[in-house]
Amino acid sequence: MTEKNCREEIIFAGFGGQGVILLGKLMATAAMKAGYEVTYIPSYGAEVRGGTANCSVIIDNEPIASPLVTEPDTLIVMNQASFDKFVPKIKPRGLLVMNTSLIETPPDRDDIEVMGVAADEIAHQLKSPRSANMIALGVYLKKRGLLTPQQVAESLPYVLAKRHHDMLDVNTRALMHGG
C-alpha cells in the first residue's frame, strides 16, 4: 500500500457470533496504527448472535470521501447466507476468502480469485473454535500483504474487551496460522 492512490475496500460477512464485526474493527484499528486513512461501518441483523452481521472497511493512503462499500475489492465471508448475498458484489479481479467449513458451493464467477479455507476445522484443531474468524483474516493478510499478521495482532488488545484478553494469545496464533 505504499504506492500512490492505493485503496482496498473490504466486506467482512457472516452471522452474529462469528466475529466478523470484530474483524472489521481489528483491521481498521491496525490500518490506522500503520498510518492509513480508514473507514469502518458495522451492520447487524435483527438479532446480534445468530442474525446476519457484516461490516465494511476502506483502507487508503489518501483521504476517503465516502465510507460506503458497494463493490468490494475483497470479501471475507464466513457462512452460506452471506456468501449468497455478497459474492455478486465483488469487483472483477477481486478476492474472495471463504470459510469452506460452512460454505459448500463454489462461486459462480470466473472473474475473481477464490481462496477457500476450512476455518472452523482449523480453529478446532487449534483448540479454539471461536478463532475461525482470525484464521480467515490471516489468509487474507498473507495474500494481500496490506498489513502483516503481527501488525494486526498488536491491535488485538485495543479491540477485544478486557474480559476477553485471555484470548489474545490464541487469536494471535490463529492469525499467524492463517497467515
DSSP β-bridge partners for residue 11: 56, 75
Specify the pLDDT at position 33: 97
Residue 53 forms beta bridges with which residues? 14, 44
Distances (CA, A) of 131 to 5, 141, 168: 33, 15, 10
pLDDT tens for the chain, residues 1 to 179 = 444 458 999 999 998 889 999 999 999 999 999 999 999 999 876 555 567 799 999 999 999 999 999 999 999 999 999 999 999 999 999 999 999 999 988 899 999 999 999 999 999 998 888 999 999 999 999 999 999 999 999 999 999 989 989 889 999 999 998 76
User: By C-alpha distance, which of 116, 9, 155 is closest to 73?
Assistant: 9
Is the pTM higher than 0.85? The answer reads yes
- Domains of the chain (ranges plus CATH)? 7-178 (3.40.920.10)
Identify the pLDDT of residue 179.
64
As to burial, measured by CB atoms within 10 angstroms (0-12 exposed, 13-18 middle, 19+ buried), residue 114 is middle
Cβ atoms 149, 175 nearer than 8 A: yes
Residue 58 one-letter amino acid: I
Q: What does the alpha-carbon distance between residue 41 and residue 123 come to, in Å, rounded to a whole number?
A: 26
SS (HEC) of 70-98:
CCCCEEEECCHHHHHHHHHHCCCCCEEEE
What count of other Cβ atoms lies within 10 Å of the Cβ of residue 133? Answer: 28
